[in-house]
């Protein structure tokens, strides 16, 4: 049995994108995407890495309607106080503006 990890979402950018760089010099852009779901509104963390991050940072703005394609990722880490933390996010492979 093979598995596939592919996510396609559409929603509005909830906040201004934040950019930082990894130790290897690659760019990382992060923002939240507000989407509608059965439970109401949800906010999904989006991460854009590398060349796509460099290209898209100036195109993504708060309030903009986007289609995001990527893969679901779960990060785990421990706080300095020793508490375990988990974060679900989408690692974007493609971003497109949605015309309204």
CATH of domain 7-97: 2.40.50.140
> What pLDDT does residue 13 have?
93
pLDDT digits (tens, 9 = 90+) for 28-75: 999 999 998 777 888 999 999 988 887 776 778 889 999 999 999 999
In contact, 79 and 85? CB cutoff 8 Å:
yes
Distance, CA of 57 to chain centre: 12
Q: Where are the beta strands (DSSP E) in the chain?
A: 7-13, 18-21, 27-37, 40-49, 65-78, 84-97
> What pLDDT does residue 44 have?
94
Q: Which residues contact 62 (CB under 8 A, 6 or more apart)?
A: 13, 14, 15, 16
> What pLDDT does residue 40 have?
81
Q: Assign 14 to helix, strand or coil.
A: coil
In contact, 36 and 58? CB cutoff 8 Å:
no
pLDDT digits (tens, 9 = 90+) for 74-97: 999 999 999 999 999 999 999 998
> What pLDDT does residue 90 have?
96
């Amino acid at each position: 049995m093979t598995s596939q990890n592919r996510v396609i979402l559409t929603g509005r950018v909830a906040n201004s994108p934040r950019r930082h760089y990894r130790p290897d010099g690659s760019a990382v852009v992060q923002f939240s995407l507000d989407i509608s779901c059965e439970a109401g509104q949800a906010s999904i963390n989006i991460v854009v890495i590398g060349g796509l991050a460099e290209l898209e940072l100036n195109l993504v703005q708060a309030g903009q309607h986007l289609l995001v394609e990527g893969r679901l990722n779960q990060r785990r880490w421990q706080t300095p106080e020793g508490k375990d933390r988990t974060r679900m996010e989408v690692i974007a492979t493609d971003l497109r503006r949605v015309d309204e």
